[in-house]
Amino acid sequence: MIKVKVSKQLNYPVSGVKIRNFLQNFFKDQGIVSDATAHVFLVNEAKMLKLAKKYYKDNKLHNVFTFVESEVAGFVNPPITGINLGEIVVCFPVAVKEAGIEGKLIEEKVLELIEHGGMHLLGKHHEE
């Protein structure tokens, strides 16, 4: 089963357990059942802007970033054993704003962004 590690920069009111279960079920539904690890980070706007500048060379505030295993060496330490799928980084304040605009619950929007990031970890990208 996929291991999911959840880190919240601040005490954001979203359940880490719910995020973990959601992403594990998502990967299982996609046929991924190996001994692998994925990390999810909920961060503030300052951290997301810092990542945007470093990795995307822009000053745009993004709602979600995905870093596949080959890109994560500089962000956090990958797990010592097993396969590291990568990291999903969600900007919680942006998710809150988007949830309000879209008429969604905050948790629903966060999980939607995590699912989007999960698709990227599996190599599925936006259509050109």
- At what angle are helices 106-121 and 16-29 packed, to 10 degrees? 40
Per-residue pLDDT, 79: 47
Per-residue pLDDT, 75: 52
Q: What one-character-per-residue DSSP string does 32-95 give?
A: --SSEEEEEEEE-HHHHHHHIIIII-S----SEEEEEGGGGGGTSPPPSSSEEEEEEEEEHHHH
What pLDDT tens digit does each residue of the chain (128 aa) get?
788 989 887 788 899 999 999 999 999 998 887 788 899 999 999 999 999 999 888 889 999 999 987 665 545 455 446 678 899 999 999 999 999 999 999 999 999 999 999 999 988 876 54
Domains and CATH numbers, the chain: 3-121 (3.40.390.30)
Per-residue pLDDT, 69: 74
